[in-house]
Amino acid sequence: MRWDDRLAALAADLEQQADGLGLAERDIEVVEQGRAEYAAVDLGGRLLGSLGRRLELEVSGVGRIEGSLARVGDGWCLVAGAAGEWAVRMAAVGSVRGLVAQAVPAPARSVTARLGWGSALRGLQDLADGVVLHRLDGTPVRGRVLRVGADFVEVVEDAGVAAVLPFTALAAARPAS
Mean local confidence (pLDDT), 149-161:
92
More confident residue, 164 or 112: 164
Element (H, E) at 87: strand 84-89
* Residues 142 and 158 sit within 8 Å (Cβ to Cβ): yes
Give yes or no: residues 73 and 158 share one domain: yes
Say if residue 18 is in the same domain as residue 35. yes
User: Looking at the structure, do residues 36 and 54 belong to the same domain, yes or no?
Assistant: no
pLDDT at position 74 is 93
For residue 25, name the pLDDT band (cuts at 50, 70, 90).
Answer: low
**Same structural domain for residues 27 and 51?**
no
User: Which range has the worst mean pLDDT, 18-27, 40-49, 80-89?
Assistant: 18-27
Q: Are 54 and 120 contained in the same domain? A: yes
Q: Which residue has the higher pLDDT, 56 or 30?
A: 56
Same-domain check for residues 143 and 86: yes
Average of per-residue pLDDT across 59-88? 95
Q: What is the pLDDT at residue 26?
A: 65
Q: Which domain holds residue 11?
A: 1-40
CATH number at residue 108: 2.30.30.600
Q: Are residues 30 and 112 in the same domain?
A: no
Q: Indicate whether 168 and 108 sit together in one domain.
A: yes
Domain boundary among 24, 40, 56: 40
> Do residue 34 and residue 93 come from a single domain?
no
The answer for residues whose C-beta is within 8 angstroms of residue 146's C-beta and 6 or more apart is 125, 154, 155, 156, 162
Residue 158 has pLDDT above 60, yes or no: yes
User: Which H or E element spans position 5?
Assistant: helix 3-38
Instruction: Name beta bridge partners: 64.
Output: 58
Is the domain of 36 the same as that of 50?
A: no
- What is the predicted pLDDT for the residue at 35? 56
Domain count, the chain: 2
| pLDDT range class, residue 177, cuts 50, 70, 90 | confident
Residues with Cβ < 8 Å from 74, sequence gap 6 or more? 44, 113, 114, 115, 116, 117
**Which region among 56-70, 105-119, 120-134, 161-175 has the lowest average model confidence (pLDDT)?**
105-119
60, 94 Cβ separation under 8 angstroms? yes
Do residues 28 and 53 share a domain? no
Q: At residue 60, does pLDDT exceed 90?
A: yes
pLDDT tier, 106 (very low <50, low <70, confident <90, very high otherwise): confident
Are 34 and 47 within one domain? no
The single-letter DSSP state of residue 115 is: -
Alpha-helical (H) ranges within 50-147 are: 117-122
On the CB side of 79, CA atoms within 13 Å amount to 27
